[in-house]
Structure 1
Amino acid sequence: MTTAGAPPQAFHAHVPGSKSLTNRALLLAAAAGGSSVLAAPLVSEDTTAFRAALAQLGCRIVSLADGSGWQVDGLGRGPKGAGRIWCADAGTAARFLPPLAATGHGDFVFEGSAQLTARPLAPLADALRRLGARVHTAGGGTLPLRVEAAGLDGGGLEVDGGLSSQFLSGLLMAGPLLRTPLLIRVRDLVSRPYVDMTLALMRHFGAEVSEDAPGEFAVRPTGYRATGLRIEPDASTASYFFAAAAVTGSAVTVAGLGRDSLQGDVRFVDVLERAGALVRRGSESTTVTGTGALRGGFTVDMGEISDTFMTLAAIAPLADAPITVRGIAHARLKESDRIEAVARNLRAAGVRTETGRDRITVHPGETSAARIACHRDHRIAMAFSVLNLRTQNLTLDDPGCVAKTFPGFHAELHRLFPRHPLQ
């Protein structure tokens, strides 16, 4: 903590590239004609799994000699051939790649880890069948998922967006590779900023896509063109360092993450501002400065930035009044049931919490020593590591699970805040 009256310590956090941007850009570059260069992509378990899956679909991806990025030699169409595609733990691979495969020709089977296999895929499989694809899933609508591909026509399609925006993003990104235009009507859409990101990247790679009315998306079958893209730092990952500033009375800046970011999760700083932190939003960077106290006593809907709700919930015991987060029912279908996982870990540390179908309320209070159950969920490990900056009495049962999105997370947190014990 900063000494009273002294200026806050100022740090620059080194945050790696966005997973969401990296994996979307990989797919679009793979579908484009020609070679694209992705600068500063995220290198983590999820993105390397996505990259490897694209290679299994026939796309050539090589690292640049200077280590600054990846060159993607696009297929210019949907994939051809046959094979078993390993998605590991990457939900984006399981949701984005089957629609791409369906636009090609061949027989592709998508498989994944036990954790990924437990996540639902039935809405995506049903949507692809309605477009004429031959798709088979395991009982219960999960992986393994088989696509017998012979290209896809477009047409009209209604999609339920209440479980995951990734289903819609996967279908939209396949749209330019269809034989005829695609019109998608979506209801109950969650995580809208991720769809906006998808649309922006599709346009960057030359697609013609429009939203002619709220929730009605039209995609023309124009294909994609190769281009370059620099990947922004990951706004979800940045949330942990911004929260660390708020709870330690420090100032943390993340360069490359400005007010015009493509990532909705940059809006997490608005929540920290409501909790009493000072926020400076620049065109090329964002800075959060903690004031030495965390203000509670409010309810916030984080449905559109649900990947960051755990960051707020984990530090909420340090606030001066209860904090309620709502609108996050879909977070129960992520790597873990994130609402219950966070609540149980807080209760294990002696913190009073209440949960509902789409909400969690966290009350202020002292924490007792506890071993945090990560459930192989990188975001649980990162969020509770921030709380531990203040409490110094928490350990993680699986610190290495952060490799899913940021293998160097603990080292970077320790670099900025040396009192953070490496887990």
Structure 2
Amino acid sequence: MMQHCNKMLHHYIQQSHSNVTIKEIIPGKLQGRIASPTSKSYAQRALAAALLVPESAHPAGWSELRRMGLCNDTSAALDAIQRLGASVRYGDNRDTYYIEGGFLRQAPAELHIGESGLSARLFTPIAAQSPTPITITGHGSILRRPVAASMVAPLRRLGATVTDGANGCLPLTVSGPLRGGTVEVDGSLSSQFITGLLMASPLSEAETRLLVRQPRSLPYLAMTLEVLRTFGIEVTHAPDYTEFVIPGRQQYRPTVCSIEGDWSGASCLLVGGAIASELRGAGIIVENLNPRSLQADRAIITALERAGAILASSGHLWTVGRPATLRSFEFDATDCPDLFPALVALAAFCSGTTVLRGTNRLTHKESDRAATLATEFAKLGVEIDLSTPDTMAIRGISTSDGSLTVRDPRLDSHNDHRIAMATAVAALRADRPVTITHAEAVEKSYPHFWDDLDTLYTA
């Protein structure tokens, strides 16, 4: 079946034998105004916290989560909290969710977290508070990523019984409860397991002390602490996040909170304004982006400034336009690795060579993201050098008309949502149409991406 969108002429080709979606991107420009998706990072944390509010809490244990748009990862978290005992009601406008806590009101034998790395590392320590075994599993790439490897020893040290899967991957079976104590955790590859421990440990009988080696993604830990404070949980920590102290026997309190817009999901839209809007024109406006957000990917604004994009902000509105020339820049994305695809799309149109650091954080994403970026952007005529450890060098275009010279029009997202979005935005400035296979990958974080891109598109 092939459907033609009204404006952008994306072609949806559903291949029924494999459920693959292929999209064709027609070169063009972006203009207009769009709302950012909501933050799945905040949403998953808030859902977990709402689950942990006891049934006896006043008033009646219900939390209200506003502006919570669903994507695959958030839907997986919503399903997980219901399996663990929470009750869910939907507001009239369908983006407000009322959550009644009731952790372990029922204890499932299995918890399915989709393909979400955050949910895998977040709900495993929470499930480890259950006196009966719970198996954490998922599907797709999450079963090939070694998300379980760093969790086993710390959980056992805190009192859990753990049956680990093959090669450090899911499925993983845990039971507890966690008793508290002092434990050392490796923070060099991800902060997500630390987030899980921070959220589960307040339920332990005794105090928990986390000693973190080489903490990374510090803004994400700050987000976790913010959510915990919102739900009434006390945590003290060292300024550099190398140590956390979590008193035991705490009680989560029901609350009302609004989920922020997602800087991660919006990053490709913002880059799209810098590279694909009308030259020195009005640019595009993206709504619902908190300028003081703790989200690590707010740093996309720093990168756009360094590249010389036209930028303006008013409250939570951001306008990004395309200047006559974008310049190469240097950027350390160690603490915001999800920005790499958007940064590569930006760098492709910058004069000179852009240097990005932090590629060591990209190996165990939905794809081997550094290698995938090099492969797929090479098809668009963009050279990416990965020969220097932990570094990516992107040589910007040098064509006279400022367009990408397509070498192979058949792009593949590798089932990676951020690769799909970044290549789509970059392809708006290609010298001919391209296709993107596995375009459905955007459903993981930004299900309405193609519709929103089409809303902004003009030939």
1:234 is matched with which residue? 262
3-state SS of the aligned residue for 1:13? Answer: strand
Shift of 1:10: 6.1
1:47 equivalent to 2:74? Answer yes
Within-5 A mapping of 1:7-406: 11-33=32-54, 34-75=61-102, 77=103, 80-120=106-146, 121-149=148-176, 151-214=177-240, 215-221=242-248, 222-247=250-275, 248=277, 249=279, 250-296=282-328, 298-355=329-386, 356-365=388-397, 366-368=404-406, 369-391=408-430, 392-406=432-446
Query: 1:377 & 1:9 partners in 2: Cα distance?
Result: 23
Structure 2: distance between partners of 1:400 and 1:213 = 41
- Please state whether the residue corresponding to 1:406 is helix, strand or coil: coil
Deviation sequence 1:388-418 (CA, Å, 0-9, x none): 1211533201111111111111111111123
Structure 1, gaps ≥5 residues long: 1-7
Q: Structure 1 residues 352, 212: CA separation in 2 closer, same or farther (over 3 Å shift)? A: closer
Q: Which residue of 1 aligns with 2:6?
A: none
Question: Contact 2:30/2:273 (CA < 8 Å) preserved in 1?
Answer: no
Query: Displacement, 1:136?
Result: 1.0
The alpha-carbon deviation at position 11 of structure 1 amounts to: 2.7
**Aligned partners of 1:78 and 1:177 also within 8 Å:** no
Measured in 2, the distance between the counterparts of 1:213 and 1:303 equals: 18
- 1:348-400 CA distance string (max 9 Å, x none): 23322211442211112342142222111100000111101211533201111
C-alpha separation between the residues in 2 aligned to 1:295 and 1:79? 56
- 8 Å CA contact 2:31, 2:273 repeated in 1: no
Does the 8 Å contact 2:187/2:214 carry over to 1? yes
- Name the CA distance, whole Å, in 1 between partners of 2:283 and 2:256: 33
Contact 1:343 1:360 in 2 (8 A): no
Taking the aligned partners of 1:213 and 1:275, their CA distance within structure 2 comes to 31
Q: Give the superposition deviation at 1:286.
A: 2.8
Does the Cα contact within 8 Å between 1:318 and 1:364 map onto a contact in 2?
yes
Deviation at residue 162 of structure 1 after TM alignment: 0.9
* Structure-1 separation of matches of 2:46 and 2:116: 15
Higher normalized contact order (CA 8 Å, seq sep 6+, divided by chain length): 2
SS in 2 for 1:390: coil
Displaced runs of 4+ in structure 1, greater than 4 A?
A: 77-80
- Relative distance call for 1:237 and 1:387 in structure 2 (3 A) is same
1:193 is aligned with what amino acid?
Answer: P
**TM-score when normalising by structure 2:** 0.85
Structure with the higher fraction of residues in helix conformation: 1
Number of matched pairs: 409
Contact 1:78 1:105 in 2 (8 A): no
Counterparts of 1:96 and 1:43 in 2: how far apart (Å)? 18
Residue 58 (structure 2) aligns with: none
Distance 1:318 1:24 in 2: 36
Which digits, 9 at most, give the CA deviation of each residue in 1:58-94, with x for residues without a partner?
221222233131111112x556534111111111221
How far residue 267 of structure 1 moved from its aligned partner, in angstroms, is 1.5
Counterpart AA for 1:93:
S
Give the letter for the 1:352 counterpart.
E
Distance in 1 separating the partners of 2:337 and 2:433: 27
- Alpha-carbon distance in structure 2 between the residues aligned to 1:197 and 1:220: 19
**Counterparts in 2 of 1:114 and 1:66: CA distance versus 1, 3 Å:** closer
Aligned-residue offset at 1:198: 0.6
Which residue is 1:5 aligned to? none
CA contact (8 A) 1:326 1:359 kept: yes
Q: Is the 8 A contact 1:78 1:102 kept in 2?
A: no
Residues 1:278 and 1:396: Cα distance change in structure 2 (over 3 Å): same
Output the amino acid matched with 1:251.
G
Q: Which residue of 2 aligns with 1:4?
A: none
Aligned to 2:458: 418
Taking the aligned partners of 2:239 and 2:218, their CA distance within structure 1 comes to 15
Alpha-carbon offset, residue 9 of structure 1: 8.4
Supply the RMSD in Å over aligned alpha carbons. Answer: 1.8
Cα distance in 1 between the residues matched to 2:105 and 2:244: 24
**Which amino acid is the alignment partner of residue 347 of structure 2?**
A
SS state at 2:320 partner: strand
What is the SS of the residue equivalent to 1:81? coil
Question: What CA distance in whole angstroms lies between the structure 2 residues aligned with 1:292 and 1:58?
Answer: 56
Cα pair 2:348 2:394 within 8 Å, conserved:
yes
Give per-residue Cα distances to partners, 1:109-168, cap 9 Å, x unaligned.
11111310111111112211110100111121211110123x211111111111111111
Q: Please give the per-residue CA displacement for 1:314-361, whole angstroms capped at 9, x wherever unaligned.
A: 232211111111123111111111000000112223322211442211
Q: State the alpha-carbon separation in 2 of the partners of residues 60 and 245 from structure 1.
A: 41
Q: TM-score, normalised by structure 1?
A: 0.92
Q: 2:191·2:221 contact (CA, 8 Å) conserved in 1?
A: yes
CA contact (8 A) 2:327 2:352 kept: yes
Contact 1:44 1:403 in 2 (8 A): yes
**For the residues of structure 1 that align with 2:269 and 2:30, how far apart are their CA atoms?**
13
SS of corresponding position for 2:179: coil
Distance in 2 between residues matched to 1:195 and 1:79, nearest whole Å: 28
State the identity as a percent.
Answer: 34
Shift of 1:303: 1.0
Q: How many angstroms does 1:194 deviate by? A: 0.7
Contact 1:99 1:170 in 2 (8 A): yes
Q: Partners of 1:317 and 1:373 in 2: how far apart?
A: 18
Measure, in 2, the Cα distance between the counterparts of 1:208 and 1:403: 35
